Structure 1
Amino acid sequence: MPRSKKPTQDAGPSSGKRKAPSKKTSKQPVNYDDTKFETEGAWLVYKNVTSARNIIPERRVLISDFANELLGHVIERNKWETFVATPRVAYVEIVKEFYANIHDNLDNPEHPQYQQVYMRGQYIPFSPLAILRYYGLDNTETDILQAPNTNLQEVVTSICQGIDHWPDRSSTLNYKCLLPEVRTLDKMVSANILPTTHTSTVTMERARLLHWLQTKTLNIGNYIFSNVWHIRNNRRCLAFPSLITGLCEMYGIDLSHEITRVKRIMQIDRIGIRSSEQHMTRKSERSTQGPDGGQSSVLGETDPAQDDPMAEDFHETVTELKGQIREAQVQEAEFHRREHDALSRQMTQLLSYFSVYPPPPPQ
């Protein structure tokens, strides 16, 4: 039931002197659904922060397209076949409530709710081990990421082309500076490990991670757990929706009444990579050319006439529409399945009832 906090009043000292009237400082009662939020503070975080954040969905990798490339080798070395498989359906409210309920002592071993998050009236495990179990991975401690200590010069040498050092006075480098095979790996990293919407630039953290994955394994449980904690304490987009929804289901949270799904993004495959590269190349060319085809006087500024939509390659749009159609078909099939299950339950109840109370014979 909704929880209500009674207003409190400050009791002043007893005195014969009259005091000037002061403003009331009593706290107004707050009603919130305690089956969804552990505390009033969690509800306020949901109301003021997480409810307005966007969500970055995980992406499937078509492994067969990259079997003999860096991305395929990384997946094979880490045994990530299930990790990069088709993400399960994720629900918006589940994800936003989850992030709102992450408490300050999530990583405190002495706290009663250590590595647990309150969800729909119960605590569910959320730990590196729980994440590994969800993906069916071993809890290996080999090659734990030490990326923050990696020398940037070593990183640039191993993952970049056309530059010999990290850009001066910059915390990022241009995505186009990455080697082609590293750019492909970055597609997966930017969706499933270190989610971001800023894919045209590469942060130092992401660059170090890409360098690390070239030759080493990564404990994905530790890394995602730390990343979720970091997202909770910053105003970044919410991430790992399929993982969070899957953990809730795995530990008994009822999802049958959830409606709004997290929108999926197309899988990572060879056709999509090629189309994305072509799109970014054209976009870069238009940003550096003026109306007469020469260099623009202002970097990134172009004549609106140059941005003719008909000049775009519509492959990405068509691919996205096909994905939306498939998603709609999946939703329709699931709706019919639920309707069928509901009718089956009703029929079973009716048969059970009539077995105890048979109807009277016809007159």
Structure 2
Amino acid sequence: MGEEYNLSEAYSSFFYSKDIADTWNMCVDREFLEEHNIDSESYGAKNMVKFFVVRNLLSTVTTAGSYSEKIIREFYCNLTENLRDPRYAIHGKVYMRGQIFQFSPAIINGFLGTHFVEDAELPSLDVMTSVLTGRLVTSFPAHPHKLAAAKLTSFYSVLHKTTVKTRIPFGNSIVVTNHQAPVLYAIGTGVAFNYGRLVFDTVMTFEDFAQPTLKLPYPSLIYSMLKSQGIEKDDDETLTEAGELLKISLALLRGNRKIDLPWSESSVAAGVVTDVSNTSLAPEIFVPPSNTKNLDTAFIQAQLLHSERKITQAKAHLAYYEGLKAHYKTLLYAVSSSVQKWGDDDGGKGK
């Protein structure tokens, strides 16, 4: 349904149609939700770096970088409703600067190496509330329809604050809404969770500019993805840096909340209270070997294991393969850098 983008018919190099160009005034001054990376020392002390490795989500909390504000505003301005509809030829495609760029849940997962799965069925909101609070609260509040973050266990408090400040833009670290609770539960317990779908759906809520005061999410992630596909900034465009490193606040480890940090692998099973029927969708757990030189190596191994599994299981997803190509380049660079670093640290031994 619908026609493919025809570059020769584009209204300008920046906008495919005049209608899109006319919306630029609603984008030009939009601000951004700042993305942060976690401090490996602070999070490592509570075993939370290993948690993100096991959940295959380390790339979502350690890869935020600089971005061009103008390019990100252009990206959001060029979003169209048909981008999300697979019936249309322009599904999963965005026109920018005279080129076509891929943007879909599969592309996002491929770029980050996150799980390409369907979201599993979750238990009731009350059951999830009980897990998130360590049974301190056994039903989700009806009025207001929000759970105070101070009721969360220390583990879920840190997870909530981290997701707000990295790449799951909840926007408010004081309360947990009925939309946020399932995300925290899925990440924390390890049930099947499609991160790429979450990012894509969040981005697409900005397609119609219905809430012009909201800050634009994922600027660093989107810019990195566009760069991997060949976009180039103009010489006069400056880059905005990612926010300062996140550290675990001692305030999240105190109070009347249940203290369940440092995180341990046993909590994978102990924290799950669910009636999920299709357990085949649950992600495979990767446990780093005890003699791993550092967590960067464990991360690379986890990503490689995940990518190899998905290559064999998702041959029909051409878009996913294109995303993996960009991800492999990132991994290759990381491996090369690590090998060089180890060689320098060992004084050239083994050469």
TM-score by length of 1: 0.59
Change (3 A) 1:139 1:195: closer
The residue aligned with 1:165 is: 139
Q: 1:186 aligns with which of 160, 163, 166?
A: 160
* Count of matched residue positions in the alignment of Structure 1 and Structure 2: 240
C-alpha distance in structure 2 between counterparts of 1:154 and 1:258, whole Å: 53
Tell me which of 199, 206, 209 is aligned to 1:231. 206
User: AA paired with 1:248?
Assistant: L
Q: Which structure has the larger Rg?
A: 1
Give the counterpart of 1:252 among 226, 230, 236.
Answer: 230
Distance of 1:33 and 1:91 partners within structure 2:
23
Compared with structure 1, are the counterparts of its residues 177 and 117 closer, same or farther at alpha carbon in structure 2 (3 Å cutoff)? same
Aligned partners of 1:203 and 1:191: how far apart in 2? 16
Secondary structure of 2:220 counterpart = helix
Q: Is the 8 A contact 2:146 2:175 kept in 1?
A: yes
Partner of residue 242, structure 2 = 264
Instruction: Give the 3-state SS of the residue equivalent to 2:23 in structure 1.
Output: helix
- State the secondary structure of the residue aligned to 2:95: strand
8 A contact 1:249–1:255 mirrored in 2: no
Residue identity opposite 1:195 in structure 2? P
Deviates more, 1:231-240 or 1:98-107: 231-240
Cα deviation code 1:177-228 (max 9, x no counterpart):
2112111111221133431332222211111211111111532222211221
Report the alpha carbon displacement of residue 263 of structure 1 after superposing the two structures with TM: 5.2
Return 5+ residue gaps in structure 1 as ranges: 1-31, 279-363
Q: How much has 1:175 moved relative to structure 2?
A: 1.8
- Tell me the secondary structure at the aligned position of residue 61 of structure 2: coil
Question: Aligned letter for 1:140?
Answer: F
Is 1:155 the equivalent of 2:128?
yes
Aligned: 1:140 with 2:120: no
Match of 1:40 in 2: 18
Structure 2: tracts of 5 or more residues without a match: 1-9, 255-351
The alignment-based identity, stated in percent, is 20
Aligned to 2:176, what secondary structure does the other structure show?
A: strand
Confirm whether residue 77 of structure 1 aligns to residue 54 of structure 2: yes
Residues 14, 96 of structure 2: 8 Å contact kept: yes
**Which residue of 2 is the match for residue 355 of structure 1?**
none
With over 3 angstroms needed to count, the CA separation of the structure-2 counterparts of 1:231 and 1:70, relative to structure 1, is farther
The aligned runs of 1:176-325 (5 Å cut-off) are 176-216=150-190, 217-233=192-208, 234-235=210-211, 236-257=214-235, 259-262=237-240, 264-270=242-248, 273-274=249-250
Distance 1:208 1:56 in 2: 22
Q: How far off its partner does 1:268 sit?
A: 1.6
The question of whether the paired residues in 1 share the 8 Å contact of 2:43 and 2:49 is answered with yes
Give me the whole-angstrom Cα distance separating, in 1, the residues matched to 2:215 and 2:34.
10
Q: Distance in 2 between matches of 1:178 and 1:76?
A: 22
* Cα deviation 1:100-129 (Å, max 9, x = unaligned): 101110022232211001111111000122
Give the TM-score normalised by structure 2. 0.61
Q: CA-to-partner distance for each residue in 1:276-301, whole Å, 9 max, x for gaps?
A: 889xxxxxxxxxxxxxxxxxxxxxxx
Partner of 1:103: 80
Deviation at 1:146, TM superposition (A): 4.4
Deviation at 1:98, TM superposition (A): 0.5
